[in-house]
Amino acid sequence: MRKLVNGKVIEIANMKLFELAAEGLALQNTAVSNTSEGIEASINSPLVHKYIKQYDIFFKSMPYPLYAIEADIKYATLGSFIKTLAKEKIELWVHNGLNIKLDAKTGMTLNVVNNTWSIVYDTNEHEDNTTLELYTDAVGYKEYAWILKKIVNKENTANFYAEFMPDFVKACNNQAVVLKWELENILTFGSIPQKMQFKHDKIINPQANEEYTLDIFFNGTVETDEKVQTWSFVGNGMGSGTRYKTIKTYGFDVYAKVLDDNDGPTTKMEPKKINGMHNLFMELCGLKNAKEMSTFPEFEGIIFDTNLVFTIDRRLFVAKSNRLVKPVDVAHGVELYAVDKGKVYFVKSKKVNERISKDSLYSYNITDGTVRLCKIIFSY
């Protein structure tokens, strides 16, 4: 993926690693105790102490993003390292972290997740799935294999970025401070304006210092060209026929509120003629009819220059505010974020689990219709 780094555009081949690392940091999976704290006094086991120490040494030797990723390949790499040091027969497997069986009879097992550990009891037999070659298709295989080889051979891992991201290091001029800052912002791909505050069932117009409301009213019914079957009871029997389907029609008026100096609406409301509001009205009617809704769907939006940008039921549209045109249907399942310098910014969210969501911020260029990813954020 191409990215601007310290003023230079470079290709970053392993961007997926950093996305997984950000997700892993948001998940923050843990066991109980920190690996750097040793073991509880109640657990008198030199074996536990040894495994925790070995695990902790390897974990702290992994650079970002490898240590932050919450994936089986990370724990398989850690398990492979511990196996290379073991003089005794060792039973270990990957499942919700790395598991090392300490006593087959009682099932006493050391479970290590990220830099935390706990003691669990599991008398079941498990297949050893810590061989790294089982994960050749996993994201990060080359990176984890390289780290494992380096640490087993007691070699320095400080040149990880130079090995796998040489253009990135070069763009940072080999300066540690610049490298650190760019790594912290690696999932930011473009400039992002400040988030705007939109209003439920309102169109805001910051340049005119106004907000607009649609007053939609029932206009009657009309027949369509579509025929529908009808049924009626006649005597002891039932008859059938056809008729033209009728639909309800609506009209609308636009009312404006002038905002006061504190950005709050005044009590004054005035009728306003804005030709482009018909674009919003037609989409509201279309979605209401398509989904057979009893009420009109919710909307919010903004007029900026001569552009009308709005969302209806999490669908993003861009039209003109000064004339009637067919709106551009930009994206579905999104939230409007901001409008700035001819670009519309919107967020598409995806649930990672019950607690975490992945928010991808995009920009839409009104002039040429291009969509670009601006930032990826994992949030609670």
User: How many C-alpha atoms does 197 have within 13 Å on its Cβ side?
Assistant: 3
Q: Tokens 């601006």 identify what position?
A: 374
Q: Tokens 């298709």 identify what position?
A: 137
Estimate the share of the chain in helix, then strand, then coil, as percent rounded to the nearest 5. Answer: 25, 40, 35
Give me the DSSP letters along 102-128: EETTTTEEEEEETTEEEEEE--S----
Q: Tokens 């989409």 identify what position?
A: 283
- Indicate the residue type of 341: K
- Vertex 64 angle, CA 58 and 47, to 5°: 20
**Residue 250: its pLDDT value, please?**
83
- Vertex 36 angle, CA 35 and 37, to 5°: 90
pTM of the model: 0.82
**Residue 42: its pLDDT value, please?**
44
- Indicate the residue type of 203: I
pLDDT in tens, 99-128: 999 988 899 999 999 888 889 999 999 999
Q: Residue 71's CB: how many other CB atoms inside 10 A?
A: 20
Low-confidence ranges of the chain (pLDDT < 50): 37-42
User: How many C-alpha atoms does 367 have within 13 Å on its Cβ side?
Assistant: 5
Tokens found for residue 34: 């920190």
Query: Can you give the C-alpha Rg of the chain in angstroms?
Result: 30
Give me the DSSP letters along 247-281: EEEEEEEEEEEEE-TTS-EEEEEEE---TTHHHHH
Separation CA 276–CA 36 (nearest Å)? 63
Separation CA 11–CA 1 (nearest Å)? 5
User: CA-CA distances (angstroms) from residue 264 to 195, 199, 206?
Assistant: 18, 12, 12
Under 8 Å between Cβ of 99 and 118: no
Separation CA 31–CA 116 (nearest Å)? 5
Residues 6+ apart with CB under 8 A from 123: 104, 106, 107
Pairing between β-strand 328-332 and β-strand 315-320 as defined by DSSP bridges: antiparallel
